[in-house]
């Protein structure tokens, strides 16, 4: 069952990932699935050595379709908390 994504992405307090919420696409589901993408992946995608929080979130916005797709696939594969890394994005050749 795929996820749909709504709401804002936020930088985790430890600064190692950006978190975002997914919702299973099923009639009447209110379950929230917390997903994340590593800041390392976002830094690499944006080609920014020391990005600000705003720059990380801007890169997230640019690549959100790909990130959401990978998170949804991970959820479908059984991950309770999908976590997208640069290795995942490279496999998709973003």
Interacting residues of 94 by C-beta distance below 8 A, sequence separation 6+:
45, 63, 66
- pLDDT tens readout for residues 61-91: 999 999 999 999 999 999 999 999 999 998 8
pTM higher than 0.85: yes
| Average pLDDT over every residue of 17-42 | 90
Q: Residue 94: helix, strand or coil by DSSP?
A: coil
Whether the per-residue pLDDT at 29 is higher than 70: the answer is no
34 pLDDT tier (thresholds 50, 70, 90): very high
Which structural domains are found in the chain, ordered by start?
Answer: 3-91 (3.30.160.140)
pLDDT band at 94 (very low <50, low <70, confident <90, very high): low
Helices 64-76 + 53-62 axis angle, to 10: 70
């Amino acid at each position: 069952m795929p996820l749909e994504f709504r709401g804002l992405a936020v930088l985790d307090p430890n600064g190692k990932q950006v978190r975002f919420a997914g919702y299973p696409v099923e009639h009447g589901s209110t379950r929230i699935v917390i997903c994340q993408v590593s800041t390392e992946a976002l830094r690499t995608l944006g080609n920014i050595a020391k990005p600000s929080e705003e720059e990380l979130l801007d890169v997230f916005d640019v690549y959100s379709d790909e990130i959401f797709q990978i998170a949804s696939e991970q959820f479908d594969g059984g991950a309770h908390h999908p976590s997208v890394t640069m290795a995942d994005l490279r496999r998709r050749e973003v």
